[in-house]
Structure 1
């Protein structure tokens, strides 16, 4: 496969224009950490952005950072952490789930990949998703033309907000070359309440009660008893064989986190006695939940396809139990965002029809986040859209990339220019 390594936005423009002229669709990569997500693409040339890796500006007092799109996410996280700041939406590291070698810088991918995927962690119930923290971007469209959207301040009025379209577009609308993001202060302390032995319905009730309380819960998750023996960093030390775990996180200044954790534990007494984990132990647990470590590629479920299912919280407990029973799979409930992770035994179609039937009936949608190339060729990886939405999506895509030069075929099994 031909690789075109660019040095700047002008190179990107030139590469896209040449691809248009030769009807040569391009696969857009930074570090390639998420290449295994989506439909196998109809491309035979790679646009390599890895040289666009500089931090342009970081203004901690203004809570903004501007970086080139292929800046390593791990390096940027380290930089803002040195100033006691963070990306509040908790970007997901897909490396463990997809089986990337090692746990180095490239495992976490790039800033551009983080935005293009739009995957956020357990705090999204409070902080929103990646799209809510993207302030501005420079990008090159499928016409080979550079454009700028948004700005470099937390509050700006720029008309039509193209940033929201770029986030979660999986590189199908434009090639991002530079982005400006909002950062937030890192909480001084965190506490996690652990309730043991609840079934999915009872856990759902406990999480709903906690999230609806006045205690500002920033994460809620449930791991069934069937996963209690799974080896996963952050969870192994607190797992108890044969017992489920329901997790609730509170963050803030130390005095507040301690007081709210104690008060929430009292409120949840009808669900059992909660143990309280502090700071580092708490952070390790939520990293494991965020990155779905019980389903990691190096673990016992590493060959199983994994679905990411978003559904209304009220139906989640029942939906998870039905899917686990009918597929023979395992589920993790990340209830801070109405999210279920489902890993199921390998089969030719990853039980796509069954999963989507139950998820659709519950009012949700499902994405096949991990599967073999053969499976991804046979099923729709992303949720099929209703006709009206699909037509709107096609019009938006045509306004950015009429010849489908960028990541052709990634979102749909058949994408015609």
Structure 2
């Protein structure tokens, strides 16, 4: 009887709709950046005040590694598995030195490689369909990331004992192009060629393929000071730099630098959203959650006259991609424990294990949200669905 009630409730919620509401549990999955460290509310003394201060120089003890222990990795996998808000692509930092050491030694022995193999296996087994990209972010004009790809290739071809132990791709966060986006053609051509070398190096993997991903800023194809320089001829094609970047990489994410519409959708389109769709390249819209300024570029909880800085609002923005003309884009959260899943603020809970997710799911509803508001429908669905799967 209880199961029947829950199933009926689920059906009612699934068929309920209002303008701007998208049933996310059955559709879009997200990408997420996972940098080497994130805020850790579990460290004694690292309370909400220190979180809001966000000072890793003054309070370095509050920013711990995101995946160097099983407990930290379980926190990550649980976050990826959040019901209705699943993450199936992560850009994971801190591979450089352990993979370089293995490559230089020509050996896969050692605890570092064992930890990587363990982490890859856990992620692939605990998160259905998860793709784990090694994230490199030297961010120089020489695009030094091109020289790091070989370490991933070596690991996959020589150290991984199974498909589950392999790294699924390489992600590059090199923002140096912002310095030269309106410069003379020679420097921009060199930069694009160096980006292409990332793909060239990835193609050297012998066993299986190694996709490459790149993060761009929404304005890199624009040159307000000299519009004539917006297009550049590279590899026999004349187009803006972002079009060339989309051609080079297997997928891209766009740092939109805003948390409200229409700026989000406008900037996605400026950055090549339509072109990416026309050539079948996955494109993500990346949203900041860490503390930054001006306040309208991030969901970090702070006083701001533009937008609402809560997890609920972030997901509402995600759910409105369709009605703002960017339905083929997928959301990307920047970044894990940058506030998302940190638990350091009442509006940003942690998703550490099933027990904690249950507590979050059955919490008292937000009375500030109307009963027919799509955000309430989404919350109620997650709460009822969690109860159903426990039956």
TM-score, normalised to structure 2, is 0.27
TM-score, normalised to structure 1, is 0.26
Higher strand share: 1
